[in-house]
Structure 1
Amino acid sequence: MLTERQIARLLDLANLACQKGMIGEGRSIFQAVLAIRPGFAPALVGLAFSHIVVDDFDGALTLLDKVLAANAADADALAMRGLACMLAGRREEAEQAFAGIPQDCAAAAMARAVMEVA
């Protein structure tokens, strides 16, 4: 079995792969983590990110809605939902997602940055 640290490193690698345009490789890693830990929110949020980077906003929102159905206060899922909505041209929905993020977390900083450039 993988340790929490090993899973975190896998998620880091998958996110980096997506940032570098290696979407298939990143998704493979996210899917592997989800095979070990079904429904694991950080892996689902990362998988949603892999959809955002290729402009598949509806695919991302479907995944994020699953995370938010289980935990409506998941700051990372709210931030990623806001990002997907903003990039899809749905500013009002983005603002609603961003409004649910506690201001004392890293996701709030990302939300503020997205709102500033949009």
Structure 2
Amino acid sequence: MFSERQIARLLDIGNLACQKGLVAHARTIFDGVLALKPNFAPALVGLAFTHVVVDDFDGAQSILDKVLAANPEDSDALAVSGLSHMLAGRRDEAEQTFARIPQDSAAADMARAVMEMD
């Protein structure tokens, strides 16, 4: 079994792989974490982001909807959801989603930066 620290490291590696364009590798890592911890929100959010980076916004939203159904206040899921909406050209939905992020969270800073894009 993996420790929480090892799981966190796997998530970091998955996110880095995604950022470097290694989407298939990132998905494999996130799927592996989900095999160990089904419905683990950080892994689901990472998996959703792998869909955002390849413009599969509906695929991302489907995953994020599951996370937000379980925890409507998940700041990371809200941030990626808002980003997905924004990149898909759904600015109104992005604004509504970003408005749900607690203003004292790091995700709120990202949301403000994304909304300033245009």
Q: TM-score range by the shorter chain?
A: over 0.9
> Structure 2 length as normaliser, TM-score?
0.98
> Structure 1 length as normaliser, TM-score?
0.98
Q: What's the Cα RMSD here?
A: 0.5
**SS in structure 2 opposite 1:101?**
coil
What's the counterpart of residue 62 of structure 2?
Answer: 62
How far did 1:102 drift?
0.3
Instruction: Give the letter aligned to residue 67 of structure 1.
Output: V
Q: 1:1-118 residue pairs with structure 2 within 5 A? A: 1-118=1-118
Task: Measure the CA separation in 2 of the matches of 1:3 and 1:106.
Answer: 25
Instruction: Give the letter aligned to residue 18 of structure 1.
Output: C
Structure 1 runs, 4 residues or longer, greater than 2 Å off: none
Task: Measure the CA separation in 1 of the matches of 2:114 and 2:3.
Answer: 33
Task: Measure the CA separation in 1 of the matches of 2:4 and 2:103.
Answer: 26
How far did 1:15 drift?
0.6
Task: Measure the CA separation in 1 of the matches of 2:12 and 2:29.
Answer: 10
Over residues 49-108 of structure 1, what are the superposed CA-to-partner deviations in whole Å (9 max), with x where a residue is unaligned?
Answer: 000000000000000000000000100000000000000000011011100000111100
Q: Percent of counterpart pairs with the same letter?
A: 71
Structure 1: which 5+ runs fail to align?
none
How far did 1:117 drift?
1.2
Task: Measure the CA separation in 1 of the matches of 2:3 and 2:93.
Answer: 36
**SS in structure 1 opposite 2:116?**
helix
Instruction: Give the letter aligned to residue 89 of structure 2.
Output: G
